């Protein structure tokens, strides 16, 4: 077996010949692999974990009100940049391009909504909040074309790419592109932890700092709840917090989400992958770990520059094994939330659940397209008519997995304000103006097409054929 040093030496000479990527990307990749091989995985001692106090994870309702007046608001917003992580493809939902161009409501895409939101801030306060999109090599070309349509809008849009790293062949630790895999399959984007070095390497970081920008608000482009919040920004500026992670109370749907802990005097992110098997049940319990990471992050730009230049952001490495054409490969990734422990005066803010509204599957799309939400100035706002703070639980069968088939199976999205649970399986088709209440299960028998007629109200029902409606 090759020693660790030999593996790295061989890898370095192979990577040197990969002319598709920059010197920065080559050194970043070698750095990541060296750290992985040296096994510096940081083990968390379970007994040392402490629940963070309200000083470390600040309750949202205790934040000071923002200063009054347009001028004060403008000067606050002029410190801000919004960055959306736009590297993901909508493949899970059967789409080919960037996920951010899936239509969410009223014919508007995620990206349309983001642009409308920031535009309305810029117009209302006369400020200049730019939008940055971090693409991956998978979404870059499509996004460039899409962004064209906003060229006349009141918003500066910048795009940059996150790093492109070669997949590693498990057997001999050589880059997959050196094995003749010259297409896109030979490469991968190394997770959103890469946002910090990529921001720096693209030249965007220095340009923003030169313009007097101080904070970047980073969020996933598919989280419709991740809107600019002046109270949070004001708090960070006043308290000189270099980093803030928005967390929100866990429900049973979020038990796998990373959580914030106090550990040896520092606040840090604890992910399920770092938890030993015997502690997993405790990690998932809602009693001990009450909050989880929404991946809405607020970070000071000068602090990013300082830490990237010092090569100090050594986030936990997440190994992601894959298979390409029968070859076992490894992707090493990092997560932006794990960087929290390297920043000075880092905090969490325990925000309302409304700031976490991700669309990962068509069941989430059903929620945001329904009467549970309305759309105002690009903001998706929850309908006050729903008294239950939790959203309905929705499970749709594989027939609904792709956006196109999901849309074709609903003549119109049903009313779900009074719905608790919906389970749909089999070949089911919904008419228009249907109202769902309580617990509803619709299970078509195998090989049978089940049509739910227009204008029906289904309340606490299990339906397996027309006779049950």
Give me 42's structure tokens.
């940081």
**99 carries a ligand binding annotation:** yes
Which residues are within 8 A (CB) of 68 and not within 5 positions of it... i.e. 6 or more apart?
Answer: none
Which residues are within 8 A (CB) of 47 and not within 5 positions of it... i.e. 6 or more apart?
Answer: none
Give me 186's structure tokens.
């030979």
**Burial tier of 45 (Cβ tally within 10 Å: 0-12, 13-18, 19+):** exposed
CA 99 to chain centre: 11
- Do the Cβ atoms of 160 and 322 come closer than 8 Å? no
**240 carries a ligand binding annotation:** no
* Residues found in the chain: 469
Buried-exposed string 354-370: b where 16+ CB fall within 10 A, e elsewhere? ebbbbbebbbbbbbbbb
**162 carries a ligand binding annotation:** yes
Q: DSSP labels for 333-390?
A: E--GGGGGGGSTT-EEEE--GGG--B--SHHHHHHHHSTTEEEETTEEEE-TT---SS
**322 carries a ligand binding annotation:** no
The partner residues of 165 in beta bridges, in order of sequence, read: 188
- Do the Cβ atoms of 295 and 336 come closer than 8 Å? yes
Distance CA 395, CA 421 (A): 8
- Do the Cβ atoms of 385 and 435 come closer than 8 Å? no
- How far is it between the farthest Cα atoms of the chain? 71
Calculate the dihedral angle through the C-alpha atoms of 134, 113, 357, 313, rounding to the nearest 10 degrees.
Answer: 20
Distance CA 216, CA 196 (A): 11
**258 carries a ligand binding annotation:** no
Q: DSSP labels for 231-247?
A: HHHHHHHHHT-SEEEEE
Distance CA 25, CA 21 (A): 6
Q: DSSP labels for 267-291?
A: EEEE-GGGS-GGGHHHHH-TTT--E
Distance CA 452, CA 465 (A): 9
Q: Please, how many CA atoms are within 13 Å of residue 6, restricted to the half-sphere of its CB?
A: 4
Q: Which of 76, 145, 154 is nearest to 115 (CA)?
A: 154
**222 carries a ligand binding annotation:** yes
Binding positions for UTP:
99, 162, 191, 222, 360
Binding positions for substrate:
192
Binding positions:
99, 162, 191-192, 222, 360
């Amino acid at each position: 077996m090759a020693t660790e040093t030999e593996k790295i030496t061989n890898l370095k000479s192979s990577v040197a010949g990969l002319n598709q990527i920059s010197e920065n990307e080559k050194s970043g990749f070698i750095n990541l692999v060296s750290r992985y091989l040296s096994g510096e995985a940081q083990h968390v001692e379970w007994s040392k974990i402490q629940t963070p106090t309200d000083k470390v994870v600040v309750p949202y309702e205790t934040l000071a009100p923002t200063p009054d007046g347009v001028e004060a608001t403008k000067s606050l917003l002029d410190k801000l940049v919004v960055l959306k992580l736009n590297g993901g493809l909508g493949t899970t939902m059967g789409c080919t391009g960037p996920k951010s161009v899936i239509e969410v409501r009223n014919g508007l895409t995620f990206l349309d909504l983001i642009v409308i939101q920031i535009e309305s801030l810029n117009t209302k306060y006369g400020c200049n909040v730019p939008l940055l999109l971090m693409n991956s090599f998978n979404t870059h070309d499509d996004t460039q074309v899409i962004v064209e349509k906003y060229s006349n809008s009141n918003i500066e849009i910048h795009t940059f790419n996150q790093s492109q790293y070669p997949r590693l062949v498990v057997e001999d630790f050589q880059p997959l592109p050196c094995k003749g895999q010259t297409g896109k399959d030979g490469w991968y984007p190394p997770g959103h932890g890469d946002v910090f070095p990529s921001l720096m390497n693209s030249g965007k970081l220095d340009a923003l700092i030169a313009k007097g920008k101080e904070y970047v608000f980073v969020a996933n482009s598919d989280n419709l709840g991740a809107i600019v919040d002046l109270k949070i920004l004001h708090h960070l500026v006043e308290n000189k917090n270099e980093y803030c992670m928005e967390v929100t109370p866990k429900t049973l749907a979020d038990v796998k989400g990373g959580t914030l802990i106090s550990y040896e005097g520092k606040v840090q992110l604890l992910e399920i992958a770092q938890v030993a098997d015997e502690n997993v049940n405790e990690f998932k319990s809602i009693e001990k770990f009450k909050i989880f990471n929404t991946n809405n992050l607020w970070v000071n730009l000068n602090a990013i520059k300082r830490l990237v230049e010092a090569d100090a952001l050594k986030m936990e490495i997440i190994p992601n094994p894959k298979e390409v054409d029968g070859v076992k490969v490894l992707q090493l990734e990092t997560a932006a939330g794990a960087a929290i422990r390297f920043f000075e005066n880092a905090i969490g803010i325990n925000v309302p659940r409304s700031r976490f509204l991700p669309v990962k599957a068509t069941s989430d799309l059903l929620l945001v397209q329904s009467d549970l939400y309305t759309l105002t100035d690009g903001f998706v706002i929850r309908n006050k008519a729903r008294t239950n703070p939790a959203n309905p639980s929705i499970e749709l069968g594989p027939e609904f997995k792709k956006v196109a088939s999901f849309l074709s199976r609903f003549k119109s999205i049903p009313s779900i304000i009074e719905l608790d649970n919906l389970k749909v399986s089999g070949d089911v088709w919904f008419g228009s103006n249907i109202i769902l209440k309580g617990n509803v299960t619709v299970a078509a028998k195998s090989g049978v097409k089940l049509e739910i007629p227009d204008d029906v109200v289904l309340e606490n029902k299990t339906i397996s054929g027309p006779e049950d409606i």
